[in-house]
Amino acid sequence: MPMTSSIFFPAPAKLNLFLHINGRRADGYHELQTLFQFIDIHDELSFDITDNGQLTLEPSLAGVKDDDNLIIRAAQLLKPFTTDNQGVQITLHKNLPMGGGIGGGSSDAATTLVVLNRLWQCGLDNQQLAQLGRQLGADVPIFIHGHAAFAQGIGEELTPAFPLEQFYLLLTPKVMVSTAKIFNHPNLPRCTPKFASEQYSYEKTTNDCQSIVADHYPEVAQALKWLVEYAPARMTGTGCCIFAPFATLQAAKAVAERCPVQFQARICQGMNRSSLYKKLEELGL
């Protein structure tokens, strides 16, 4: 089907419902366990296929060269699988914070790989796309597979999961956390025992990165201190976003209305299936 810039594809956010660091390998990568679940907020991307062979992105992200942007890098990884002189003009509507721990950049890259694979008719399956995506970031494969998952290893061992699709209050402090800084910190806990996925419960898990981030980013510590008064709050990924689960939409709204002005508050719902694949089905792609 012909594509125009009026058709936007979602790049959904995710939460790490917990994050345990089990050890550090000789190559520097960390062994971890986590549970990924999508939420119903997203960036949006459109793709206009061209025949000039060029890969362009608008608008550019402030402080990020286009060639360093994961969106363009994802398109470059797919380019060898195209025919003729195919290119693309990509338009991005950015809604997810950078450095928030909710996967904005990784999800943008995954949506680019999944959609362009179809529009350019590259013919790759999701396993092949995930292998490409892993070159861009450890979280990219979860967005490509498109289902909530329990992850192990360095994040590449994915087992489909079905956590409750409950409501969350998501707070975004005005700070950007460096993932590399957190994972390289000498005091990061790195010896949490592994457990079987069927033993998971929210109450018995935590985020091993949380204390380090809170120590170095006071805005995150303040958000945690405020939200934990109302619900069992924790950080997602390496931050900066803080979330807490609520049984009902009304309960989440009641707390959101009290949110201090220095934090952006959003009410989200968990999704075990990515909104990207729902959109692709609607379009018959």
User: Catalytic residue positions?
Assistant: 14, 139
C-alpha 254: how far from its chain's center? 27
Contacts of 218 (CB under 8 A, 6+ apart): none
Q: What share of the chain is helix, strand, coil (3-state, %, to 5)?
A: 30, 30, 40
CA atoms of 66 and 73, how far apart (whole Å): 9
Contacts of 257 (CB under 8 A, 6+ apart): none
The three-class DSSP label of residue 184 is coil
Phi–psi pair at 73, nearest 5 degrees: -65, -35
CA angle 155, 271, 5 (to 5 degrees): 95
Judge whether 237 and 102 are in contact, CB under 8 Å.
Answer: yes
